[in-house]
Amino acid sequence: MPGGVAGEIIYSLKYSGWGGVAAEIASHMGKLPWPVDVLSERAMLVPVPLTSQRLRERGYNQSTLLALELSRIWGIPCREILRRDKAAVSQTRLTPDERLRNVAEAFSLEVNESEVAGKHLILLDDVITTAATLNSCAATLYDKGARTLSYVTFGRAHTSGDRL
């Protein structure tokens, strides 16, 4: 998780039912500068899905809450077009290699391939550590015809190589 106050806020969003902070987080994310080609091409925001069990436990997907708010700010649609098929264990304590194996082939497309074919999609997750989850989502979308994929996250978790 990102450190300091930002880390505490994301932790509370994910694990303490603080869904209401998504609008404020997204307002900050919405100010990110993007290259002109991305601004003109981006077709939709795609939140990283949770397993159905994790969704039931939390009551919401924090990435979807952020994506819905960003959708409003950026004026592009948010679509939950991915499904998490493989029930993965929490990645918080896994090594980079374990994270890759944990999410390998974990996602599938819930819509017709024509809805992603040739499009520039923005994948959204709350926090990035090794990018294993985002890369697995991207592989699924790319295999189904997406032309370009960009990532946006609120934070980056510390990794073993970081100087703290």
Q: Which of 57, 78, 87, 157 is nearest to 121 (CA)?
A: 78
Largest CA distance in the chain: 45
% of the chain exceeding 70 in pLDDT: 87
Q: Distance (Å, rounded) from C-alpha 47 to C-alpha 45?
A: 6
Write down the residue that tokens 């998780």 correspond to. Answer: 1
Q: Distance (Å, rounded) from C-alpha 134 to C-alpha 26?
A: 18
At residue 88, the pLDDT reads: 59
| 59 contacts: CB under 8 Å, gap ≥ 6 | 17, 19
What's the average model confidence in pLDDT over 50-74? 94
- Say if CB 133 and CB 48 are below 8 A apart: yes
Hey, which of 7-16, 30-39, 70-79 has the most confident mean pLDDT?
Answer: 70-79
pLDDT digits 0-9 by tens, 104-153: 778 999 999 999 999 999 999 999 988 889 999 999 999 999 999 999 99
Helix-then-strand count for the chain, H and E: 7, 5
DSSP alpha helix (H) spans, 18-163: 22-29, 36-41, 52-58, 62-74, 96-103, 132-143
Q: Distance (Å, rounded) from C-alpha 6 to C-alpha 11?
A: 9
What's the average model confidence in pLDDT over 152-159? 80
